[in-house]
Amino acid sequence: MKAIITVIGKDKVGILAMIANECAKANINVLDVSQTIVDGFFTMTMSVDLENMETSLSSFSDHMDQLGKEKDLVIRVMHQDIFDSMHKI
């Protein structure tokens, strides 16, 4: 099972590392990362493999949402099927 993690917020040092570390703690493998900075705003889309995840998707998503609030970022985690459905033309 795969998921997509999106992050949006003001650019600052360590955002990518923070998200990757949280994935590693949950035994989630990062497959691909796309990031950009536009006018000081950081945006990232990360594809991850949940096959060996040590928590539920719901728990991880809630944890990342809370982390985002603490770090003044918007962090969303969703199953890849949902993400794909949202972005079909």
Q: Strand 2-10's sheet: what is its strand order?
A: 29-38, 41-49, 2-10, 73-79
22 vs 36: CA distance, rounded Å: 20
Reduced to 3 states (helix: H, G, I; strand: E, B; else coil), residue 34 is strand
Q: What is the pLDDT of residues 18-28, one digit of tens each?
A: 999 999 999 99
**How many Cβ atoms are within 10 Å of 15's Cβ, its own excluded?**
19
- Asked whether residue 80 carries a pLDDT value surpassing 90, the answer given is no
Q: What is the pTM of this model?
A: 0.88
79 vs 57: CA distance, rounded Å: 8
Domain borders along the chain are 2-86
Q: Does domain 2-86 have CATH number 3.30.70.260?
A: yes
Q: What is the pLDDT of residues 37-78, one digit of tens each?
A: 999 999 999 999 999 999 999 999 999 999 999 999 999 999
Question: What is the structure's pLDDT at 22?
Answer: 98
Helix axes 15-25, 57-70, angle to 10 degrees: 150
